[in-house]
Structure 1
Amino acid sequence: MERDECYPAWGSGRGGAVSVRRLSLIAGLVGLLAAAALFSLTLGRFPVPAKSVADILLSQVWAGEIRWTRYEELAVLNVRGPRVLAAMLVGAALAVAGASYQSLFRNPLAAPDILGVTAGSGFGASLALLLGLGPLAVQAFAFASGLLAVGLCFALGTLIRQQSMVMLVLSGIIVAACFNALLSILKIVADPVDVLPVITFWLLGGLNRVTPGAIPPAFGLILASLAVMAVLRWQVTVLASGAEEARAMGVRIGLVQFALVLAATLMTAAAVGLAGTVGWVGLIVPHMARLVAGGGFDRTLPVAALLGALFLLVVDDICRSADAMEVPLSIVTALVGAPLFALLLYREREDIA
C-alpha cells in the first residue's frame, strides 16, 4: 500500500498562491454553513423564529432590547446551540480524518475507523455506560479507549518488527475485532431493560446527549489536530505522489505518517466520544471535497472540513425532525451516504479502474 496504482496521486508540488476560485469556494461554503446553522437553531418541537435566534445570538456580543422569551433563549443557547456546534465539529473532524487516511494510504475506501479507533471508542463508552457514569465520563472513556486501540496497532507492528502501512492496516483489523468482541461481552452482561438500550442507541450515534460542557474539550482536540494537518498539508500532498518523489523533495516520510495518523486518530476519538459511532461521513465527504476542490490534500483539507460540518448538520436536522422519536445519526448517514457514494464512484470510475 506504499503506492497503490489503483489510486492515482492527488495533486503535486508545493502549490502556489491560493486562487480566487478556491477562495470563492471556501467563502461560499462558510456562508452556506452559517445559514444552515442559523436555520438549525430554529428547528425543534418548540419553534423559534429566525429573527429571535439572530437577536439572541447578537445579545451575547452586545446588550440590546429583549424581544424574545426566556424559553426561546434557553432553547437556542442551552439545547440547540451545543447540538449545532457538536454536529459541525463531529462532521468536520470525521471528514478531515477520512481525507487524511485516504491520502496517506492512497486508498479511496479508507475511513476513520481503519485503525480500530471507532471500535475502541465504542467499547470505552459502553463500559462507562455499563458502570453508570455521567456524560463527560462517557466521552473521556471513549476518547481514551480509542487512543488505546491505535496504540495497540502500533505496538503490534513493533512486535512483528514491521512498520509498513500495510501492517498498520492489518493490525487495525485485528484490534478492531478484539474490541468488537469485548463490546459484545458488555452487551451480554448489561441489564437488558435499563442499560442495553442506552448502549445500543449510543453506538448508533446521536447528538441528543451533548451538553455545553462537552464542547470545549472536543473542540480543543479537534482544533489542535487540524492545526497539525494544516502544517503538514504540503508534505502529505507530495507523499501522495509516491515515496520516491517525497524523499527526493526532502519529506521525512516516517515522521509525516506518524503525525498524520496521530492527528486523525485524536480527531476521530474526540468525535466518537461526542456523538457516538457515526458512519459514512469520513468515507464520502472526502470524495465530494476532491470533486469540487481538486486532488491535492492541501486543497481538500479546508473544503472537506466545511463540507463535513455542513453534511452532518443537515443530517442531524433530519434526524430530529423526521419523526416524533429521534432517529440515530448512523441510520440517516447510511441511507444518504450509500447511494451518494455509489454516484461518486460512478463519476470517478475511470480514475479507480
Structure 2
Amino acid sequence: MADEQKKKPAVIVIIVSSFLLILFFFISLMLGRYQVTLGDIATVFYSKIFQTDCNVSEMVQSVILKVRIPRICAAILIGGALATAGATYQGLFKNPMISPDILGASAGAGFGAAMAILLSLPFVFIQFSAFLFGLLAVGLACLICKMVSRGKDALLILVLAGMIVGTFFSSLITLMKYVADPQSKLPEITYWLMGGLSAVSSSDVLMMLVPFFCGIVPLFLLRWQLNAMAFGDEEARAMGLNTKKLRTIYIVSATLLTAAAVAVCGMIGWIGLIIPHLTRMLVGPNHKYLIPASFLIGGVFLLMVDDLARTLFTMEIPLGILTSIIGAPFFVYLLLKRKKGWI
C-alpha cells in the first residue's frame, strides 16, 4: 500500500514534466530575435508533414527548422543527459554531492576542445576531440583505480582518481589558454568552455544521438538494479547481482552521456548536481522513477535557461554562467529545505 502511495506522485511528476517539456518546446520556438507566432509554427509543421505549400516566409521557415528546432532538441537532450548521468553517479557512489564531471569527463572534454581550437581544426573535429578526451579522462581514472585499489575501497579510490585526472586536465586547459593567441584563439577557447548552444546545428544533434542512445538505453533498462547498488555491494550481491559488471555499465553509460553533452555545448555545470536533488525531493529515491524524471526535468531546466540566455539581453549569455547563477543559490535552498537524509 505504501509503495502504491509513493508511486502515484512519482507518476504524476513524470506526466507533468512531460507536459512542461512539450509546452516549453513550443514556447522556445516562439522566443528569439526573429518573431515567430504559433500560427507560423503550425503552418510550417503541417506543410512539412503533409508536403503542402507553405505560405510562411523562407526566413521564418529557416529560423524554425534550421536554427530553433536543432537548438531546442539539443537543449532537451543535453539537459536530460547531464541530469540522468548525475542521478546515476549519485546513486552508484552513494553520495549526493557527486556530479557528472566527478571522474574528469568534463575537464578531459574541455582540454580536447581547447587543443583542437588551438590547432585551428574544423568545428566537427573540435566536438570529436572533446568527446574522445572526455572518454579518455574517465578511462584513465578507472585505470588508476584498478592499479591502486586491488578490490578494496574501489568506489572511494575511483572518486579520488577522478579528482586527480580532472585536476590534471584542468591544468592542461590552463596551459592551452596561456599559449593561445589572445586576439583570436583565447576568446574562442574561453567562450567554448563557458558553454552555449548558439552554434548548434541539426548535424550536431544527429551526431550526438549515437552516444546518447548508447548511454541512456542501458541506464533506463537497468535503473531498477541501481536501487540495490545504492545500498552497497554486499546487499546487491545478496540479491544475486553482478556488482562489478553493473558498475562498469553504469559508469560507461553515464560517461557517454556526459562526454556527448560537453562535446556539443561545452562545459555546463550544476545541472547534474541540482536536478537529481530536486527530482529526488519530488519522486523519492526509487531509481525506477528518479532516472526518467531526472531526464525530463533536466531537459525542461536547460530549455528554460537557454530561453533566458537568448532573450534577457541583446548579447547571448553563455549557459555555463546562467546555470551557475541559478544553480548555486538554488542548491543552497535545496540543502536548507531537505533536512532529512537523501536516500
Separation in 2 of the partners of 1:19 and 1:167? 36
Which residue is 1:5 aligned to? none
The one of 71, 95, 98 aligned to 1:107? 95
User: What is the CA-CA distance between 1:65 and the residue it aligns to?
Assistant: 4.6
2:189 alignment counterpart: 199
Matched residues in 2 for 1:58 and 1:31: separation? Answer: 21
Asked if the contact 1:135–1:209 (Cα under 8 Å) also holds between the matched residues in 2, the reply is: no
For residue 68 of structure 1, report the CA deviation from its aligned partner: 1.1
Task: Assess if the C-alpha contact under 8 Å between 2:70 and 2:200 holds in 1.
Answer: yes
CA RMSD of aligned residues (A): 1.9
Q: Name the SS of the counterpart of 2:49 in structure 1.
A: coil
Give the match for residue 38 of structure 2: 50
CA deviation after TM superposition for structure 1 residue 252, in Å: 0.8
Given candidates 135, 148, 173, the residue that maps to 1:147 is 135
**TM-score relative to the length of structure 2:** 0.95
Separation (CA, whole Å) in 2 of partners of 1:242 and 1:188: 44
Which residue pairs with 1:333 in the alignment? 323
Offset, 1:21: 4.2
Q: Shift of the alpha carbon at 1:248?
A: 1.1
Q: For residues 165-188 of structure 1, what are the alpha-carbon distances to aligned partners after superposition, in whole Å with 9 as ceiling and x for unaligned? A: 011011111111111111111111
User: Do structure 1's residue 267 and structure 2's residue 267 form an aligned pair?
Assistant: no
Q: Which amino acid aligns with 2:39?
A: K
Is 2:81 the counterpart of 1:96? no
Q: Tell me, which stretches of 5 or more residues in structure 2 are unaligned?
A: none
| Runs of at least 4 residues off by over 6 Å | 15-18
2:14 is the counterpart of 1:26: yes
1:115-163 C-alpha deviation (Å, 9 max, x unpaired): 0000000000111111112221111000000000011111112222435
User: Which protein has the bigger helix share?
Assistant: 2
Instruction: Tell me whether 1:239 sits opposite 2:229 in the alignment.
Output: yes
Task: Give the Cα–Cα distance (whole angstroms) in 1 for the partners of residues 18 and 202 of structure 2.
Answer: 23
Quick one: distance in 2 between partners of 1:33 and 1:339?
Answer: 24
Structure 2 residue aligned with 1:59, among 36, 47, 52? 47
Number of the residue aligned with 2:167: 177
1:9 aligned residue: none
Structure 2 counterparts to residues 126-165 of structure 1, below 5 A: 126-163=114-151, 164-165=154-155
TM-score normalised per structure 1:
0.92
Per the TM alignment, residue 20 of structure 1 is displaced from its structure 2 partner at its CA by 4.9
Count of residues paired in the alignment: 340
The one-letter code sitting in structure 1 at the alignment partner of 2:133 is: S
Name the CA shift for 1:138/1:18 in 2 (closer, same or farther; >3 Å). farther
* Cα distance change, pair 161–18 in 1 and its aligned pair in 2 (3 A): closer
Look up the match of 1:301: 291
1:18 deviation in Å? 10
Q: Output the CA distance in 1 between the equivalents of 2:99 and 2:215.
A: 17
Does the Cα contact within 8 Å between 2:85 and 2:254 map onto a contact in 1? yes
Shift of 1:66: 1.9
Is 1:84–2:72 an aligned residue pair?
yes
Q: CA separation in 2, counterparts of 1:152 and 1:16?
A: 43
Change (3 A) 1:217 1:16: farther
Amino acid at match of 1:76: I
Shift of 1:241: 2.1
Percentage of identical aligned residues: 39
The structure 1 residue matched to 2:269, chosen from 241, 266, 279, is: 279
